Structure 1
Amino acid sequence: MRPRTLDEVVGQQHLVGPGKIIYRMVKARMLSSMILYGPPGTGKTSIASAIAGSTKYAFRKLNAATDSKKDLQIVAEEAKMSGTVILLLDEIHRLDKAKQDFLLPHLENGRIILIGATTENPYISINPAIRSRAQIFPVHPLSPDDIKVAIGRALTDKERGLGKMPIVLAANAEEELSQATNGDLRSVLNGLELAANSTDPGPDGKIHLTLPIIEESVQKKALSADKNGDGHYDVISAFQKSIRGSDVDAALHYLARLIEAGDLTSIVRRLMVTAYEDIGLANMPAVQRAVTAAQVAQQVGLPEARIPLADVVIELCLSPKSNSGINAIDGALAQVKEGGFGDIPPYLKDAHYKGAANLGHGVDYQFPHDHPQDWVAQQYLPDRIKGAQYYQPKQNGRFEQALGNQYWQLKRAQRQGLKGHHHPTN
């Protein structure tokens, strides 16, 4: 059922629909190399096949992980002899340097039009030398309506599909088929074929594909992708953003996807990061409870770990939020990286070694514990950046409100105490 022309591609109309980028490339016969990026079974190979069919160029398919440099050389020789070849390179994120170096000049001279296919984020996983020579196009999981179109074609096509078989697909079975694989058409067609070939005709001579038969034949696609796949990082990202956005039900949904994938390590790590990054000083007791829940989850393991995790995810969602901590340290880091640090005031320098006083180290240092309330006005930042202020207290929770009040009170006292008084800095 592989498409032979762009008109036969199901879904991905943002790329292959009339007037869209790949449609225009093919129509103008001005193809450039591209990387198609998206989940399995969503049409990456189909689009490459359709481009080749629509342009009548030779079409070859290799796998970057398993095929050798010699296989690439054969394709290059063919391109030299007979003109342009469209090369679909599956798993392009696995392309090693030797194969890449061989390919680059052929991409430059246009003999090989490379269509890379990958399930990994190309901006992270693909070498910049290849990436800069290709346009990156995302492909998306197919909608149930797209999948129903493909099912209809498969059931009626007598040449390449199941059209010669007397199949009757129940409406609820078609509905299940269109939604069971999370937009993976390959899995749908494989399941449909398995169901058709393994079901005996009924008394009326027809093959009745019912809901139970389809449910048995289709392996449902894991919602969270594999633990190392790009989709998995998207779920983790959505998990944190849902907690940050205070959406309990969305956060529990993404937590469930991560639990279903069995990746307790990622859940625990992300939960602790989220607690400190997004709730932080607005509710430090909740942050501590998140750490405790993460530790309990690791000790008891799945499936029981879901209980403390759910409790604390709900609490973090409904808690006041503050990112003042991460903003403060990132502000300090940014200034340090720009060279904004200056010399440490001499009275703050280490004075534990003999001769330190001769250098002025530790001289005139005021020991806070010798003063009322264990505090004294004293400049701690280097002169160059003595006015730096990284922490901006928020007012979203009582805990940080109290910290903020103390912060501003100390700032005011520091300014007043240092007026007209300057520590020696030489």
Structure 2
Amino acid sequence: MEPLAYRMRPRNLDEIVGQQHLVGPGKIISRMLKARMLSSMILYGPPGTGKTSIASAIAGSTKYAFRKLNAATDSKKDLQIVAEEAKMSGTVILLLDEIHRLDKAKQDFLLPHLESGRIILIGATTENPYISINPAIRSRTQIFPVHPLSINEIKVALARAMTDQQRGLGKMPLVLEANAEDQLARATNGDLRSALNGLELAAKSTDPGPDGKIHLTLPVIEESIQKRALSADKDGDAHYDVVSALQKSIRGSDVDAALHYLARLIAAGDLTSIARRLMVIAYEDIGLANMPAVQRAVTAVQAAQQVGLPEARIPLADVVIELCLSPKSNSGILAIDKALDQVKQGGVGAIPDYLKDAHYQGAKKLGHGVDYQFPHDYPQDWVAQQYLPDRLKGAQYYEPKQNGRFEAALGKQYWQLRLAQRQVLNGHHHPTK
């Protein structure tokens, strides 16, 4: 028999618990269905938050065939079977789990079917699609975040499962005590699948009492879900809020707060999010102020991933403490963002001819590479020449900070080179030897 979470899967949008920003009245997915203009989409968020439920509800609401595959474990042949079915029936809704692991061969096969509309793709992923999913797929889909369910939303789903006599546990004489219900709703961290399966395990493994009823007490529920409240607090904070709080605590040099949020992520078993976020923090917030610490952070993350939990907590704790107490600098991210902003606003300009590629026949006739001065031919491997396009001459993106000895030394070198360059060029486009 299928698990309770599977049996209680929504058959239409009205049965979906949570994610009202997508499926509520007048919201985007509801409007798509009403207008019969369903497009491919990617749903991303933590496990058990309704990605598969939304896909099956859309299929139920449209009466289209619904198929589910996994991008990592199912083959290109499995995709071909779905494509053939789509040719015969007109349209198939394909839920593709772990879409961030879709390889190029499967992607290339899938793209024309998305273009034609024969396959409506609903990709599901716990990874940030803007980072982990190929742009070719992203450009053909709408991207929607799904959030951990609130405590009240999980309680609604639990009550529904306990009273549904066809698909749920309504035929069992269950009594779910209030404090047990609170724990079940809280400790599953916004993951409805875990809550429903924990409820079913508790119900089916507990003998009836003298009154003939199955009493689901707090100890029974705690035993059934095998965990306490992890990263969710009493208000059901989203998983992403904990990750954000970890970064802000490290940035703010608060060791104890950072260790608290790290502990919540470790207790939730979320090594993937910890690893990615710590590497981002190292480069974004410590950066050039202490590059050796940045490198140690990368090494610690790699060690944590190799040994896995629970031992991973040791290198992770060490590096979080070091990052908290390290000098901070965000000059790197500020510099690249300033450069990107200028490029996006059309600030590009022509590359000077002497910097253009000259490794092909006829390049010299075009003036490419001519008069380029090779820095290694000069004292201290440096010569003043203009590298930026004419229209951006003198542009400055990097503003060195002085918080750490490492960046202070870089800053000193930066200013010396800028000054020397400006003095030598003195307004001329390109110096000659």
CA distance in 2, matches of 1:330, 1:105: 35
Q: CA 1:37–1:330 in 2, change beyond 3 Å: closer, same or farther?
A: closer
CA distance in 2, matches of 1:134, 1:329: 28
- Retained in 2: the 8 A contact 1:393–1:400? no
Q: State the 1:150 CA deviation.
A: 0.2
Q: Which residue of 2 aligns with 1:353?
A: none
Q: State the 1:77 CA deviation.
A: 3.6
Which blocks of at least 5 consecutive residues in structure 1 are unaligned?
225-230, 351-360, 366-378
Q: State the 1:394 CA deviation.
A: 4.7
- Retained in 2: the 8 A contact 1:293–1:308? no
Q: CA 1:159–1:233 in 2, change beyond 3 Å: closer, same or farther?
A: closer
Q: Which residue of 1 aligns with 2:360?
A: none
TM-score normalised by the chain length of structure 2: 0.68
Q: Which residue of 1 aligns with 2:325?
A: 315
Q: State the 1:140 CA deviation.
A: 1.2
* Aligned partner (choices 381, 385, 396) of residue 382 of structure 1: 385
Amino acid at match of 1:23: S
- CA deviations 1:196-252 (Å, max 9, x no partner) are 00000000000000011101111449968xxxxxx9999777644432245555423
Q: CA 1:129–1:176 in 2, change beyond 3 Å: closer, same or farther?
A: same
Q: State the 1:10 CA deviation.
A: 0.3
Q: CA 1:382–1:327 in 2, change beyond 3 Å: closer, same or farther?
A: farther
CA distance in 2, matches of 1:157, 1:391: 62
Q: CA 1:127–1:173 in 2, change beyond 3 Å: closer, same or farther?
A: same
Q: State the 1:47 CA deviation.
A: 0.9
Answer yes or no: is 1:95 the counterpart of 2:98: no
* Aligned partner (choices 189, 193, 196) of residue 182 of structure 1: 189
CA distance in 2, matches of 1:295, 1:147: 39
Q: CA 1:339–1:330 in 2, change beyond 3 Å: closer, same or farther?
A: farther
TM-score normalised by the chain length of structure 1: 0.69
Q: Which residue of 2 aligns with 1:63?
A: 70
Amino acid at match of 2:90: G
Q: State the 1:303 CA deviation.
A: 6.0
- Supply the RMSD in Å over aligned alpha carbons: 5.0
Q: Which residue of 2 aligns with 1:76?
A: 83
Q: Which residue of 2 aligns with 1:144?
A: 151
Q: Which residue of 2 aligns with 1:217?
A: 224
**Partner secondary structure for residue 178 of structure 1:** helix
CA distance in 2, matches of 1:101, 1:291: 37
* Aligned partner (choices 114, 133, 136) of residue 129 of structure 1: 136
- Retained in 2: the 8 A contact 1:60–1:75? yes
Q: State the 1:25 CA deviation.
A: 1.2
- Retained in 1: the 8 A contact 2:278–2:297? no
**Partner secondary structure for residue 190 of structure 2:** coil
CA distance in 2, matches of 1:329, 1:106: 38
- Retained in 2: the 8 A contact 1:236–1:254? yes
**Partner secondary structure for residue 114 of structure 1:** strand
Q: Which residue of 2 aligns with 1:208?
A: 215
Q: CA 1:41–1:410 in 2, change beyond 3 Å: closer, same or farther?
A: closer
Answer yes or no: is 1:35 the counterpart of 2:45: no
Q: CA 1:338–1:40 in 2, change beyond 3 Å: closer, same or farther?
A: farther
Q: CA 1:324–1:381 in 2, change beyond 3 Å: closer, same or farther?
A: farther
- CA deviations 1:15-71 (Å, max 9, x no partner) are 100000111111122211222222211111111111122222232223333334444
Which blocks of at least 5 consecutive residues in structure 2 are unaligned?
1-7, 232-237, 305-310, 356-370
Q: CA 1:274–1:108 in 2, change beyond 3 Å: closer, same or farther?
A: closer
Q: CA 1:211–1:222 in 2, change beyond 3 Å: closer, same or farther?
A: closer
Q: State the 1:160 CA deviation.
A: 0.6
**Partner secondary structure for residue 212 of structure 2:** coil
* Aligned partner (choices 19, 30, 47) of residue 26 of structure 2: 19
Q: State the 1:122 CA deviation.
A: 2.3
Amino acid at match of 2:35: A
Q: Which residue of 1 aligns with 2:58?
A: 51
Q: State the 1:181 CA deviation.
A: 1.6
**Number of residue pairs aligned between Structure 1 and Structure 2:** 384
CA distance in 2, matches of 1:36, 1:64: 14
Q: Which residue of 1 aligns with 2:364?
A: none
Q: State the 1:134 CA deviation.
A: 1.9
Q: State the 1:176 CA deviation.
A: 0.6
Aligned residues with identical type, % of pairs = 69
Q: State the 1:126 CA deviation.
A: 2.8
